[in-house]
A and B are shown apart, each in its own frame.
Chain A
Amino acid sequence: MSNKLIELKNLTKNFDDQQVLRGINLDIHENEFLTLLGPSGCGKTTTLRIIAGFEEPSGGEVLFNGIEISKLPPYKREINTVFQKYALFPHLNVMDNIGFGLNLKKVDKSVIEQKVKRMLKMVGLEGFEKRDVTLLSGGQQQRVAIARALVNEPKVLLLDEPLGALDAKIRKQMQIELKKIQREVGITFIYVTHDQEEALSMSDTVVVMNNGEIQQIGSPTDIYNEPENRFVAGFIGESNIIEGTMIKDFLVEFDGFRFECVDKGFEDNEAIEVVLRPEDLDIVEPDQAKIRGTVRNITFKGVHYEILIETELRTYMVHTTDYAAVGREVGLKFGPEDIHVMCRMGGY
């Protein structure tokens, strides 16, 4: 990654007596597609609004190109936002909505028109200049909102759950398009969502947040494959999380058995948690595996079956394309690379 564009340093924010941000430290780089991911109330939107300038942090710093900007009003920042419900001006048509920022800068009319047309082309709305924004579909409004922000050529584009109001099919389509646009304009996108699939499929970097704190920062694969704690593991994808002990490097014990693994760097005999992704588990004959159990339930999910297997200590979830009849005795098999060991945390 290239140089740092935005640095958040020990950012805190209180609303009344409630602390919604508890010390956020985050570096955002040029041309990065960064996603703030977390459940509602985790502080991701507040973080975004502080970057945009709609909120002032209670403590900490926001550096933009190395300059502190937390007191700078939003209209003086080279940052633009795509709002959750688009916030298109109902009294202006598509053209005037997109040209709003340029108009304020007293840009020449013909230049504005040209730029707006180019933007409309990019978001696939050619010929929509004179349309009434209130009569557009959700997807179209979304595109106008993106065009309106991008036409100002900001250094950073902030997107606050921009796809939340769209239906599933258009969502998918827009995800692809957003990524394409980001590559095309080559600027930093900061994207807020609670949808882990969206986060994983679009981002360069995912920041998982919970309860006003950052849980993990990493690439989508890192986040998925190497969750740092139970919260991240639980929030991203489905998982079997099992408490266990790290006997020593490359050897972990849980459910009464010892398994080889690829993790190291923990203290010997440290209490840890293990994540086993359901799709990493294989169902085998009982005698071929250490962990054994009985099939309790099987649900057809389209691509795979979701099978619940009850063992002595817990119920495992398995995603597999193989059918297993309810009541059948089975074994659960997984390799050392399927075991993800993480620190044990209280609370979650």
Chain B
Amino acid sequence: MKQFKHLIKPYIIWAAILIVVPLILIVLYAFTSDGNEVLTLHFTWANFGKFLETTYLSVILKSFRLGILTTLICLVCGYPLAYIISKYSEKVQSFLILMVTIPMWINMLLRTYAWMNILSDNGLVNNLLKMLGISPITMMYTDFSVIVGLVCNFMPFMIIPIHTSLSKMDKSLIEAANDLGANPFQTFWKVTWKLSMPGVVNGVMMVFLLSISTFVIPKLLGGGQYMLIGNLIESQFISVGDWNFGSAISLILAVIILIFMSLMKKMDKQDD
């Protein structure tokens, strides 16, 4: 079987060039200034120092707040859905999971545009309210619209791993808990919830990762003032043109995410 171990070689080269080198480049840019030229490297901490200004720190905080809120909503709304789905017969289950998956195939931007039309001041919801004689509500360019967009786009990423762990769960464990005197509520907290933790952790990681780094949805649904880390990075590269600062923010974001991920993984292991 030793022959097969050579099969890994192409990917080692590939990964070195397309995964490792880009990361090194980001680090390099983050620690240099004025340097799109390789020959005139000036190492500096300035890009990180700049980040400590309150404005940028508040961007990070806002991103975190939004990321946590979105993740929480996805969890609170997605868990019951995954739970209910897992109670159906296998046929219905796979149908419902398919229904949850299909929207992920439709272009995210298109769905976001549709939300713009639904939520705008003269949009579908407000038109409906007007017909009912209720005064219109401003929904666009608020936390609400951004969160609706994020939740709609990312909730399937929460539902699917939770459903997977719920449906994999040995049903006799539930019966065992019942048998030992746990009422349905106790059974849920002491057994079902605990055993679905791997799915929950996976879902939380996915949704948090996606929502903390997104820039398109906040830009479209939150307007230009909705500045998150993703938007900050994008603007550094696309409009400001400060690639060094942009790389530094990317690096910070990547490090934060990696720390968060390893924390979640540890939590998951301790739970076992």
Binding site for B on A (CB under 8 A): 52-54, 73-75, 79-81, 83-85, 87-91, 100-101, 104-105, 148-149, 152
Residue pair B272, A75 in contact (C-beta under 8 Å): no
* Partner among A73, A84, A90 whose Cβ is within 8 Å of the Cβ of B178: A73
Contacts A75-B182, A104-B181 given; indicate if A89 touches B191 (C-beta within 8 A): yes
The answer for the CA separation of A81 and B172 in the assembled complex, in Å, is 11
Please provide the 3 A-B residue pairs with the shortest distance between their CB atoms, ordered closest to farther.
Answer: A101-B180, A87-B176, A87-B172
* A162, chain B: closest CB distance, angstroms: 12
* A69, chain B: closest CB distance, angstroms: 14
Question: Which residues of B lie under 8 Å from residue A88 when comparing CB positions?
Answer: 176
Residue pair B194, A83 in contact (C-beta under 8 Å): no
The answer for the CA separation of A206 and B259 in the assembled complex, in Å, is 61
9 sampled A-B residue pairs with Cβ under 8 A: A54-B178, A54-B179, A73-B183, A75-B182, A89-B176, A89-B195, A91-B194, A104-B182, A152-B181
The answer for the CA separation of A89 and B170 in the assembled complex, in Å, is 10
The answer for the CA separation of A84 and B176 in the assembled complex, in Å, is 11
Question: Which residues of A lie under 8 Å from residue B130 when comparing CB positions?
Answer: none
Residue pair B178, A104 in contact (C-beta under 8 Å): no
The answer for the CA separation of A90 and B194 in the assembled complex, in Å, is 10
For A145, the closest partner residue in chain B by CB is B176
The answer for the CA separation of A242 and B170 in the assembled complex, in Å, is 46
Question: Which residues of B lie under 8 Å from residue A89 when comparing CB positions?
Answer: 173, 176-177, 191, 194-195
B190 CB-CB contact with A under 8 Å: yes
Residue pair A105, B181 in contact (C-beta under 8 Å): yes
The secondary structure that dominates the B interface is helix
Residue pair B173, A87 in contact (C-beta under 8 Å): yes
Binding site for A on B (CB under 8 A): 170, 172-173, 175-183, 186-187, 190-191, 194-195, 197, 271-272
* B183, chain A: closest CB distance, angstroms: 5
Residue pair B173, A101 in contact (C-beta under 8 Å): no
Residue pair B170, A152 in contact (C-beta under 8 Å): no
Residue pair A100, B172 in contact (C-beta under 8 Å): no
The answer for the CA separation of A91 and B176 in the assembled complex, in Å, is 14
* Partner among A53, A85, A91, A105 whose Cβ is within 8 Å of the Cβ of B172: A85
* Partner among B172, B180, B190, B195 whose Cβ is within 8 Å of the Cβ of A90: B195
Among A100, A105, A148, A152, residue most surrounded by chain B Cβ atoms (within 10 Å): A100
* Partner among B172, B179, B194 whose Cβ is within 8 Å of the Cβ of A74: B179
Residue pair B172, A104 in contact (C-beta under 8 Å): no
For B170, the closest partner residue in chain A by CB is A87
Among B170, B172, B176, B177, residue most surrounded by chain A Cβ atoms (within 10 Å): B176
Residue pair A54, B183 in contact (C-beta under 8 Å): no
* A55, chain B: closest CB distance, angstroms: 10
The answer for the CA separation of A90 and B173 in the assembled complex, in Å, is 9
Q: A75-B181, A75-B182, A89-B191 are in contact. List 13 more A-B contacts (CB 8 A).
A: A52-B179, A53-B179, A54-B175, A83-B172, A84-B172, A89-B194, A91-B195, A91-B197, A91-B272, A101-B181, A101-B182, A104-B186, A152-B181
Residue pair A75, B195 in contact (C-beta under 8 Å): no
The answer for the CA separation of A320 and B194 in the assembled complex, in Å, is 58
For B183, the closest partner residue in chain A by CB is A75
Contacts A81-B176, A104-B181 given; indicate if A90 touches B272 (C-beta within 8 A): yes
Question: Which residues of B lie under 8 Å from residue A53 when comparing CB positions?
Answer: 178-179
* Partner among B170, B173, B178, B194 whose Cβ is within 8 Å of the Cβ of A75: B178
Question: Which residues of A lie under 8 Å from residue B190 when comparing CB positions?
Answer: 100, 104
Among A75, A90, A105, residue most surrounded by chain B Cβ atoms (within 10 Å): A75
* B234, chain A: closest CB distance, angstroms: 42
The answer for the CA separation of A279 and B218 in the assembled complex, in Å, is 85
Residue pair A148, B180 in contact (C-beta under 8 Å): yes
For B176, the closest partner residue in chain A by CB is A87
* B79, chain A: closest CB distance, angstroms: 17
Question: Which residues of A lie under 8 Å from residue B195 when comparing CB positions?
Answer: 89-91
Residue pair B175, A74 in contact (C-beta under 8 Å): yes
* B152, chain A: closest CB distance, angstroms: 32
Residue pair B271, A81 in contact (C-beta under 8 Å): no
The answer for the CA separation of A148 and B172 in the assembled complex, in Å, is 14
The answer for the CA separation of A191 and B178 in the assembled complex, in Å, is 19
Residue pair A75, B179 in contact (C-beta under 8 Å): yes
Residue pair A91, B271 in contact (C-beta under 8 Å): yes
Residue pair A83, B272 in contact (C-beta under 8 Å): no
Among A87, A104, A105, A148, residue most surrounded by chain B Cβ atoms (within 10 Å): A87
